[in-house]
């Protein structure tokens, strides 16, 4: 499903000489965001018209059950709009991957449909790209609108991902970012089935700059990213980009063995010097329960990693496309610039 891309041919808009406006692709993953799309799309269209030589807005419908399909049927008939409808809900990471593979612009911008990623930042992002940045991330100023548990959980997650890892994953940067064509070309060549996009963005590297922003409140609807989804997100990230849990299990095993040896030595010395023979029933039961808990914990961690291997070896596609409506930049680019 990956496309062969010539990134050098598509990055000429900032390569020496007189600056030319780039072609821009905007990817908008959406799940039941019909009301928000009605507000977002006109705003996004107006900004792209004034800051690009040509543009496309790719809405990736990740299994919506509202009126998104009806809304996009009319929008996709207009110039610059493309509607990708997945056959079911595959998850946001898969929807982003579908959009990246479909995008044809020299610059690709990802943003959410819930209006918490303000399109007004796009001109600043393009200015940073023009100055030489390959990736421009929008970074939240603070997380005061989130619960304390979520903030602490996020801090712990990124501490784990950063431990013993050469990757630098920006903790307050989400999917709202601009990427040069060569960055997108690198991303769509990665074969992983488990797409932890924050980690993949960091893994491919390239020159990255940040822009701070304060996300506005959602205009319509509520976030579907609940606690269970957050836990799954964390597990995906840890198993994809860290072996820290496995190393921790080895450390726990070493400590337990050391304590067992020390306690055994203490009992032997006490018996030889004092003659006390401690009744072992309580000690044995407590030790067995403790070790059983450690073993089950270890099996759970190993099982999480094995499940990732199981998903990878099946080589199923990331998503199944149900409909592809509209042309976007596909027909607008000259044949020499077609990816």
Per-domain boundaries in the chain: 8-226+317-337, 244-314
Triad 301, 95, 229: Cα angle to 5°? 40
Which residue stretches of the chain have pLDDT < 70?
1-19, 143-151, 153-155, 159-166, 219-227, 229, 271, 275-283, 285-286, 330-339
Which residues lie across from 57 on neighbouring strands? 26, 81
pLDDT for the residue 139: 86
pLDDT for the residue 331: 55
Q: How far is residue 262 from each of residues 52, 246, 254, 265, 266, measured CA to CA in Å?
A: 70, 25, 12, 5, 6
pLDDT for the residue 7: 45
* Cα 287 from Cα 12, distance rounded (Å): 67
- Domain 8-226+317-337: homologous superfamily in CATH: Spore Coat Polysaccharide Biosynthesis Protein SpsA; Chain A (3.90.550.10)
pLDDT for the residue 241: 72
pLDDT for the residue 221: 59
pLDDT for the residue 25: 92
DSSP-derived letter for residue 13 is: G
pTM given for the model: 0.73
pLDDT for the residue 123: 92
- Output the CA torsion 224→225→226→227 (10° steps): 170
């Amino acid at each position: 499903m990956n496309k062969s891309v010539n990134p050098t041919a598509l990055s000429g808009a900032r390569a020496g000489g007189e600056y030319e406006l780039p072609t821009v692709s905007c990817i908008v993953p959406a799940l039941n965001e019909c009301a928000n799309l009605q507000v977002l799309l006109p705003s996004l269209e107006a900004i792209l018209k004034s800051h690009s030589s040509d543009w496309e807005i790719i809405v990736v419908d990740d299994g919506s059950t509202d009126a998104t399909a009806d809304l996009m049927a009319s929008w996709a008939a207009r110039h610059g709009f493309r509607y990708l409808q997945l056959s079911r809900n595959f998850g946001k990471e898969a929807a982003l991957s579908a959009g990246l593979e479909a995008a044809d612009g020299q610059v690709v911008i990802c943003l959410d449909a819930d209006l918490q990623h303000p399109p007004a930042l796009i001109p600043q992002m393009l200015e940073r790209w023009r100055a030489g940045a390959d990736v421009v991330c929008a970074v939240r100023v603070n997380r005061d609108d989130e619960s304390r548990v979520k903030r602490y959980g996020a801090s712990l997650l990124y501490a784990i991902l950063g431990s013993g890892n050469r990757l630098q994953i920006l903790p307050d940067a989400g999917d709202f970012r601009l990427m040069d064509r060569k960055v997108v070309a690198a991303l769509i060549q990665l074969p992983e089935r488990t797409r932890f996009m924050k980690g993949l963005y960091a893994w491919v590297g390239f020159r990255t700059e940040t822009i701070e922003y304060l996300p506005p409140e959602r205009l319509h609807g509520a976030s579907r990213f609940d606690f269970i989804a957050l836990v799954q997100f964390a597990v995906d990230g840890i198993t994809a980009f860290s072996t820290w849990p496995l190393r921790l299990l080895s450390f726990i095993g070493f400590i337990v063995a050391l304590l067992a040896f020390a306690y055994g030595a203490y009992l032997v010395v006490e018996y030889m010097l004092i003659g006390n023979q401690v009744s072992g029933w309580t000690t044995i039961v407590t030790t067995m329960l403790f070790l059983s808990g450690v073993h089950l914990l270890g099996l759970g961690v190993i099982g999480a990693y094995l499940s990732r291997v199981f998903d990878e070896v099946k080589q199923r596609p990331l998503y199944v496309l149900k409909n592809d409506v509209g042309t976007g930049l596909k027909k607008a680019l000259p044949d020499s610039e077609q990816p």
